[in-house]
Amino acid sequence: MQEGSKVKAFVFFKGRSIVFKEQGEILLLRFVNELEEYGKAEQMPIFRR
C-alpha cells in the first residue's frame, strides 16, 4: 500500500444475528490490532444499533 492509504471495515448482521454483537466487536478490534504494524487507527470502531 502507498502512504496515506486508508481501510474501512464493516460487520453486517442479518436478522436476529444482532444478538452476537459482541462477536462483531471482537472481530473489528482484532482487525485493528492485526493492522497495527502497517499504520494506526484514526478512529476506534463505532457500534450502532
State which residues form the domain around 31: 10-49
Tell me if 31 is assigned to some domain.
yes
pLDDT 10s digit of each residue in the chain, 49 long?
A: 577 888 888 888 787 776 777 888 888 889 989 988 888 888 887 777 6
User: CB-based contacts of 21: which residues, under 8 Å, 6+ apart?
Assistant: 13, 47
Tell me if 28 is assigned to some domain.
yes
Residue-level pLDDT at 20: 76
Tell me if 4 is assigned to some domain.
no
Tell me if 32 is assigned to some domain.
yes
Tell me if 41 is assigned to some domain.
yes
Joined together, the cell numbers standing for residue 35 give 493492522
For Cα atoms 18, 22, 26, give the angle at the middle one, nearest 5 degrees: 130
Residue-level pLDDT at 1: 55
**Residue type at position 39:** G
**Residue type at position 33:** N
Our count of domains for the chain comes to 1
Residue-level pLDDT at 2: 73
Residue-level pLDDT at 49: 63
